[in-house]
Amino acid sequence: MSRPPHPPARTANGAAAFVLDRPVVADGPSCHRLARKAGTLDVNSPYAYLLWCRDFADTSVIARRGGAPIGFVTGFRRPAAPGTLFVWQVAVSPDERGRGVAAAMLDDLVDRLPVDHVEATVTPENTASQALFTALAARRGARLARTGLFDVEQLGAGHAPEVLLRIGPIDRPRPA
Ligand SMILES: CC(C)(COP(=O)(O)OP(=O)(O)OC[C@H]1O[C@@H](n2cnc3c(N)ncnc32)[C@H](O)[C@@H]1OP(=O)(O)O)[C@@H](O)C(=O)NCCC(=O)NCCS
């Protein structure tokens, strides 16, 4: 099931705009490729992305330009707290960054899911990721709380600690 394009399918100068869509199983290999290209993500198996696109498509989103995947968000509603959307991974193709693709994907999920909090983990040195979630909290007039979640001992040597960001409660609808 495709969702209506958001933002519009053409920009003011007539170039193809990106559209947001529900992932389908055939998007699994593209998500795996985008995760590899991202450079800062833990790259999961091709199988994991296929399974995600099959079973968590409702809580995930893919951005396409001219039909080609340029970014994705994988997420799920926490089983023990369904009002919380946990954002597992966000990736935007390096040549598409800085154009609001990641922000639009997060807004799409928050707008259409019955959630009032968003969680994600970030590593301390990932400034782009920190900025992405800080901007989401600011757009929604929500608090952003930081707590340690997984430490180096749990994640293994060579992996930076993962800090939990919890954003909410989120204003619905979005403030003008
Ligand atoms: C993080 C990432 C998804 C951002 O994607 P993007 O489409 O470029 O982000 P957007 O253009 O939507 O920007 C959203 C906000 O983050 C800010 N931001 C994005 N990249 C930034 C950077 N490198 N440095 C500082 N701020 C940045 C933007 O300024 C914007 O904030 P604003 O609304 O206050 O101006 C992208 O850099 C990426 O794929 N990185 C590699 C994978 C990764 O680290 N993912 C996050 C962890 S799961």
- Expressed as residue numbers, the domain containing 127 is 18-168
Q: Is 58 exposed, middle or buried (0-12, 13-18, 19+ CB in 10 A)?
A: middle
In a domain, 66, yes or no: yes
Find the CATH number of the domain harbouring 144: 3.40.630.30
Task: List, for residues 64-95, the tens digit of each pLDDT value.
Answer: 999 999 999 999 999 999 999 999 999 999 99
The candidate with the shortest Cα–Cα distance to 51, out of 86, 20, 88, 78, is 88
Task: List, for residues 133-149, the tens digit of each pLDDT value.
Answer: 999 999 999 999 999 99
In a domain, 8, yes or no: no
Is residue 57 within 6 Å of ligand 1 at its C-beta? no
Q: How many structural domains comprise the chain?
A: 1
In a domain, 58, yes or no: yes
Task: List, for residues 140-174, the tens digit of each pLDDT value.
Answer: 999 999 999 999 999 998 899 999 999 999 977 67
How is residue 108 written in tokens? 């799409």
Distance 94 CA to ligand 1 centre (A): 10
The candidate with the shortest Cα–Cα distance to 60, out of 132, 17, 112, is 112
pLDDT at 8 over 90: no
In a domain, 145, yes or no: yes
Express as a percent the part of the chain with pLDDT over 70.
Answer: 89
In a domain, 106, yes or no: yes
Is residue 163 within 6 Å of ligand 1 at its C-beta? no
pLDDT for res 9: 59
Only one residue has tokens 């946990």, namely: 86
pLDDT for res 122: 97
In a domain, 1, yes or no: no
In a domain, 42, yes or no: yes
